A = this chain, B = another copy of it.
């Protein structure tokens, strides 16, 4: 590339990374606010999380447009091209994470229908916090191409999976003992599942970051609580 093209390309890559960082920050805030709304039965905050998800979707569209422009105008080679394509993949995962947070927020009004709190809710905020930290750390790992931090995110996913298994068992027991709460508990199950999926997707990004930084793939893990539940 000519010097001025390289400079323009670098600026566009910076803009791309800036958009991804903003998107990640918004996804992280969405998780935090969705969990807060759940704890406080705050329907207004929940509605805000749902509405704010449009901004996350809009940033994804902006990144896609910018990637097409960068490729068309700068014709990046080999590694640069792969980086730009990887950005597309990362934003599609962050968009999914935003969707999960939105789904949690959408369930807030369904969980506290009888103005009483379903007890097993107590594990969920901690679970949400771990997942939120994973999103935070994996985006830092991406920005800094930090393989160690990416690996730490991958390893932390078992914490989220363990939380999920506890929540699942606790909720099922609670439903058996309190059949009137079954409908609310079913929504809590879905919320737990959404948080568990946020952990999975953060892990997917972490694996990509690790590969980009080291050229090595992590050993295949059979993830997910379904497998563990079969034990």
Contact = CB atoms under 8 A, between A and B. Distances in A.
A71 B71 contact: yes
B81 A230 contact: no
A123 interface: no
B85 A67 contact: yes
Interface stretch (A9-17, A137-145, A172-180): A172-180
A176 B103 CA distance: 25
Interface string A108-123: 0110000000000000
Contact of A189 (B67, B189, B227, B229): B189
A226 B68 CA distance: 34
Contacts of A7: none
Contact of A85 (B64, B75, B230): B64
Nearest to A78: B72
Interface in A130-184: 168, 171-172, 175-176, 179-180, 182-183
Q: Which of A78, A186, A229 has the most CB of B within 10 A?
A: A186
A151 to B, nearest CB: 21
A106 interface: yes
Contacts of A186: 168, 171-172, 186, 189
A82 interface: yes
Nearest to A85: B68
A129 interface: no
A186 to B, nearest CB: 6
Nearest to A69: B81
Contacts of A68: 81-82, 85
Contact of A226 (B78, B103, B193): B103
By Cβ-Cβ distance, the 8 closest A-B pairs, closest first, are A106-B226, A176-B179, A175-B182, A172-B183, A172-B182, A75-B75, A176-B182, A72-B81
